[in-house]
Amino acid sequence: MKAASIATAVVMVAATSLAAVAYVGTGYTLFGTATYVSPGNDSNRAVRLQSDTPAEFAGIDFGVPADLLIQDLDVLSTEYKFPAGVSCNGGAPRFQIQLDQYPGKNIFVYIGPAPSYTGCPSDVWTDTGDLLTDASHVDTSQLPGGTYGDTWGAAQTRYAGAVVTDISLVTDNFDASSNTVTVDNTRINDATYTYEFTSANDCKRGGWRNFDFEPGPFRNQGQCVSYFNKNKPHF
């Protein structure tokens, strides 16, 4: 797909169903059709972002520190795995970055090989590496003075002083194709989101069977509950 087509399609979808809510602080929230799945990448859990129709979208909204300036945002990465026969396309999946000075607008950080952002490997866990090096390509076309083929270093300079109010990881599609990806170990600066289980409640309704890696496997629900009651999560 041509670069201009990707930008247009992403803008259309982002302007309607994917307006993100700002979550200040730490943690994350799943939205749309995003779900937890087990196992993850050598771990007990990950998040699946699935969009089978143009009406479906899925994402993870991350909390960010209240005083995070764009010039201080230097690391953005995730591990991802597409099902067999599925790949990145149409500008999805992508990170979306919102700034306080430009409400309702996004900087898009696409996953996949530039400039088409297609041809991601499927059926294997892959690490994006840091998507926010000075030379990394981002899409700032929704912002004043921005462009589809911008570099992160140029964007940091142009919008210096703006506060980052929201970061999300999104997948969607604008035609009949499916766009499904599983993500794990997402990193934003020094914070790494592993999506692991965190409490005894995760052991219930058969959840104890999902622990293929430490602190599992467990023999039964009781053993799983006992572990979380006695130990703080160490993920």
Of 12-16, 180-184, 230-234, give the range with the top mean pLDDT. 180-184
Same-domain status, 66 and 94: yes
- Tell me the pTM: 0.87
Residue 147 in tokens: 């462009």
Q: How many structural domains does the chain have? A: 2
Phi and psi at 158, nearest 5°, equal -65, -40
Same-domain status, 35 and 124: yes
pLDDT tens digits along 125-140: 999 999 999 999 999 9
Same-domain status, 153 and 123: yes
Same-domain status, 227 and 153: no
* Alpha carbon 99 to its chain's center: 17
Name the strand (E) or helix (H) holding 3: helix 3-14
**DSSP labels, 192-224:** EE-----SGGGGTTTGGGG--STT---SSHHHH
pLDDT tens digits along 183-201: 999 999 999 999 999 899 9
Same-domain status, 235 and 119: no
Name the strand (E) or helix (H) holding 6: helix 3-14
Query: In this predicted structure, what is the pLDDT of residue 55?
Result: 80
